Structures are given as C-alpha cells and as structure tokens.
C-alpha cells in the first residue's frame, strides 16, 4: 500500500461525500446571489480579490479536504488506544501499525496549517473564523469521553460546510445557508447514532459515551429517527423560505425517502445492514440532493 493510500484510508476519504455536496450548495447559493441578485461581496482577502468563481470553488474544496482530513486523523490519533481494544477497529491504520502515531499527529498539524492558509486567500472573515472551525471539528474527538451528545457535536462540525462555502463567496452570513447547516446537523447526528449502535457494549465497558450506550439500541434508533425528522423539516423550511422550484422539491423527496429507507434497513436486533444505511444510503442522499438544489438554483433563476 502506498503512503498516499494509507493516509486516504486513515481519514476515510470516501466519507467526504457526506458534507462536500452541502458545501457545494453553499457555494452555488452564494454565487447565484452575487450574479442574479447583485449581492455585494464583503471582506475580500488580504490583498487578493479573486473574481473567478472557479478559483474560489477550488479553494472551498481544498478547505473541506484539509479540515476534514485534520479532524479524522486527529480522531484516529486520539482514539488509538480504544481502537486497539475494539475488535471492529483494531485493523485501523494506527493500532495496526500501518501508520505511526507521531506521523498521524504531524499529518493533523499539516492539514490544520493548510486549512488556515487556504482561508487566508479566500477572504478575511473565513480567515478570522478558521481557528473556530478547526476547534469545532477537532473538539468532537474528545466528546465521547464525557457526553452522549457527541453525535450532535459531529453534526455541528459537518454543518459548517454550507455556511463556510457561502461565506467564501459572499463574505457575509445569510439565513438560507444556515437552514442548510441545520439540515446537515440533524442529518449527520442521526446517522452517526445508527453507526454507533455497533459499539454499544464496547462503549459501556470502556466508559465511553454515546446515545446507544446511554439509552440502548431501540431508544437510540428513536432518537435518530427524531433527528432525521428535524432534518427533513429544515429542508422543507429552506425550500419555502428560498422560493425554490420543482427541481428542489424533487431533491427533497428523494432525500427524505432515503432517510426513511435507512431506518427500514436497521433494526435493534439486526445490525447487518448498517454499512448500507450509513455510507451507501447517506452518500447517495447528499449527492442527489445537492444536484437537484444546484439545478434549481440556475434553471429556475
């Protein structure tokens, strides 16, 4: 296995598919507002003013990659001792000896630096807020040690994607990308609870906190279901507030349908389809929803 493949595996690079589509929604929402609604950009970068939207888009994508890579690698580094004890996670790169612990930590530091540097070339507000964003995404890794609400903290971390991308384009906050951020918060929190069902007994034994460990599988699934209902409500509110057209509502129907589907796949006494519910279903949901939202932004303008 090459070094690049090792680190891509360490950070589960394929899972970028969860938040990246929502970052693209935030970007194109901001771009549409500037082009069609003559929104004035604020807080230009330090001596740089990129009017080419593709350069800003590239910067947004790199920011997503750097921040997420830092967060995932930090999680793996911090949890290496727990991962070594858990039969499900003992094969991960650090406990398996594929990547050295110190190398993983340096990887975290490098990605944090690259993230901050990237925001410097976007605009001032993104640069000033970059330490806050890093704190949120890195802090999540500590939360299982003291609160069952760790799933919500993960949701908050990924929910920064649409807001951050919108800020990168416009340099200012707006309600619509915030509504999409709440969509991500509740959606991610809900499916992370489903994923955590696998480690219910391990978490209890090792004094780690999670909704499944605190409430048991059945009630944890009920909480996950409630969070996904809130996520669906948020996309509906966003669609109404944003005056979207039928492309958007088609995407909403598919997104909500896949939320329901993943809950049909996982039962308290049958966790055999968790990977399909966690990765496949949610990956499809985010990509398809983003495609329909972006189509609506430009075809119904």
pLDDT in tens, 190-246: 999 999 999 999 999 999 999 999 999 999 999 999 999 999 999 999 999 999 999
User: How much is the average pLDDT of 42-63?
Assistant: 77
Q: Report if pTM > 0.85.
A: yes
CATH number of 3-299: 1.10.357.140
User: How much is the average pLDDT of 246-261?
Assistant: 96
User: What's the pLDDT score for residue 276?
Assistant: 81
Is the separation of the CB atoms in 208 and 145 below 8 Å?
Answer: yes
First-residue to last-residue Cα distance in the chain: 48
Task: Return d(Cα 214, Cα 293) in angstroms, integer.
Answer: 37
Is the separation of the CB atoms in 79 and 27 below 8 Å?
Answer: no
pLDDT at residue 26 above 90? yes
pLDDT at residue 71 above 70? yes
pLDDT at residue 143 above 90? yes
User: What's the pLDDT score for residue 83?
Assistant: 95
Compute and round to an integer the Cα radius of gyration of the chain: 19
pLDDT band at 3 (very low <50, low <70, confident <90, very high): confident
β-partners of residue 267 are: 270
Task: Return d(Cα 43, Cα 226) in angstroms, integer.
Answer: 38
pLDDT band at 52 (very low <50, low <70, confident <90, very high): confident
pLDDT band at 298 (very low <50, low <70, confident <90, very high): confident
pLDDT band at 37 (very low <50, low <70, confident <90, very high): low
- Phi and psi (nearest 5°) for 3? -60, -40
pLDDT band at 42 (very low <50, low <70, confident <90, very high): low
Tokens of 68: 């997420």
Is the separation of the CB atoms in 50 and 123 below 8 Å?
Answer: no
The number of CA neighbours under 13 Å toward the Cβ of 224 is 31
Is the separation of the CB atoms in 24 and 165 below 8 Å?
Answer: yes
User: What's the pLDDT score for residue 15?
Assistant: 80
pLDDT at residue 148 above 70? yes
User: How much is the average pLDDT of 240-261?
Assistant: 96
């Amino acid at each position: 296995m090459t070094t690049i493949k090792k680190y891509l595996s360490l950070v589960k690079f394929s899972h970028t598919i969860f938040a990246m589509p929502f970052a693209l929604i935030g970007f194109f929402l901001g771009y549409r507002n500037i082009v069609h609604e003559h929104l004035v950009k604020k807080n230009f970068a330090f001596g740089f003013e990129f009017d080419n939207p593709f350069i800003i888009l590239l910067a947004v994508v790199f920011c997503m990659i750097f921040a997420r890579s830092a967060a995932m690698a930090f999680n793996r580094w911090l949890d290496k001792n727990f991962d070594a004890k858990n039969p499900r996670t003992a094969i991960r790169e650090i406990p398996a000896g594929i990547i050295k612990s110190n190398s993983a930590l340096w990887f975290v530091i490098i990605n944090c630096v690259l993230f901050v540097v990237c925001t410097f070339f976007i605009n001032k507000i993104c640069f000033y807020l970059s330490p806050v964003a890093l704190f949120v995404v890195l802090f999540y890794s500590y939360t299982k040690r003291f609160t069952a609400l760790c799933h919500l903290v993960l949701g908050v971390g990924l929910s920064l994607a649409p807001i951050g991308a919108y800020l990168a384009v416009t340099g200012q906050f707006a309600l619509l990308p915030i509504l999409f951020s709440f969509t991500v918060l509740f959606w991610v929190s809900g499916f992370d609870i489903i994923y955590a069902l696998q480690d219910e007994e391990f978490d209890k034994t090792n004094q780690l906190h999670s909704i499944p460990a605190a409430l048991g599988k059945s009630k944890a699934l009920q909480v996950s279901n409630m969070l996904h209902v809130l996520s669906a409500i948020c996309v509906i509110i966003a669609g109404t507030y944003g005056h979207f057209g039928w492309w958007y509502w088609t995407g909403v129907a598919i997104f909500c349908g896949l939320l329901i589907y993943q809950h049909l796949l996982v039962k308290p006494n049958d966790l055999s389809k968790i990977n399909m519910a966690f990765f496949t279903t949610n990956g499809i949901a985010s990509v398809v929803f983003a495609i329909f939202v972006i189509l609506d932004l430009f075809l119904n303008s």
